[in-house]
Amino acid sequence: MKIKKADLEKVAVHREQYPEEDLFEFAFAGRSNVGKSSFINAMLNRKKLAKTSSTPGKTRTINFYRVNDDLRLVDLPGYGYAKVSKVEKNSWSKIINEYLENRENLLEVILLVDIRHEPTAQDLQMFEYLMAKGYSGIVVATKADKISKGHYEKHINIIAKKLKIKNKDMIIPFSSENKEMVDEMWEIFEDIVRY
């Protein structure tokens, strides 16, 4: 997809603050630091639109990016960051759940996992939740530039096993560094919109 226009339309914590349900939304879930905000930048061909950090816990709000006045990409706070208090963890998971449970125009939620690591119990829980909600089960395996292509299969197998994914084509190696798979991801999104 050609990105003609992309901007941060809204930063929200609670439901009342979300933008209108007038455009389809694609949301991205995953552990802190897995590369959700970087993924959105890569997809939008913008280096710094979504704030990223090498320290986990950067995105703490729900950030709605409006693309070509056509759809939104939605950056969610990460989960599983060990160094925050229990109270804070609970408040982040509440923010995420409130969004996932109350959004009519939410067309797809995609789980991001780091290609180098076995998904965590929390990843599995999120993935099972998304499958139960009827989403398609696409998993983006981030930071693919950190391993050689010859090792992709081995890592994809580990991810598939942990998340109990039968069709390994559902796991897409992705790199925000070298923009690997950006065009293919947009094709997948456009297919979902059309369907």
Task: Check residue 6 for interaction with ligand GTP (CB under 6 A).
Answer: no
Give the residue with the Cβ less far from Mg ion, 59 or 175.
59
Q: Which stretch binds ligand GTP (CB under 6 A): 4-12, 29-37, 149-157, 161-169?
A: 29-37
Show contacts with ligand GTP in window 65-94 (CB under 6 A): 77-78
Q: CB of 48: closest distance to ligand GTP in angstroms? A: 11
Distances (CA, A) of 64 to 25, 114, 186: 9, 23, 17
Q: Which of 29, 34, 67, 185 binds ligand GTP (CB under 6 A)?
A: 34
For residue 21, the SS3 value is coil
Task: Check residue 59 for interaction with ligand GTP (CB under 6 A).
Answer: yes
- Cα(113)–Cα(41) distance, rounded to whole angstroms? 17
CA atoms within 13 A on the CB side of 180: 16
Give the residue with the Cβ less far from ligand GTP, 25 or 142.
142
Q: Which of 6, 25, 27, 32 binds ligand GTP (CB under 6 A)?
A: 32
Give the residue with the Cβ less far from ligand GTP, 112 or 165.
112
- Cα(113)–Cα(125) distance, rounded to whole angstroms? 13
Type of residue found at 161: K
Chain-centre distance of CA 117, in angstroms?
16
Helix axes 121-132, 152-163, angle to 10 degrees: 70
DSSP state of 61: S
Give the residue with the Cβ less far from ligand GTP, 86 or 194.
86
Task: Check residue 38 for interaction with ligand GTP (CB under 6 A).
Answer: yes
Task: Check residue 175 for interaction with ligand GTP (CB under 6 A).
Answer: yes
- Cα(173)–Cα(10) distance, rounded to whole angstroms? 29
Contact call for residues 74 and 26 (beta carbons, < 8 A): yes
Dig out the tokens for 186 from the structure.
């947009």
Task: Check residue 37 for interaction with ligand GTP (CB under 6 A).
Answer: yes
Q: Find which of Mg ion, ligand GTP, none residue 63 binds, CB within 5 to 8 Å per kind.
A: none
Which residues form the interface with ligand GTP (CB under 6 A)? 30, 32-38, 52-54, 56-59, 77-78, 142-143, 145-146, 175-177
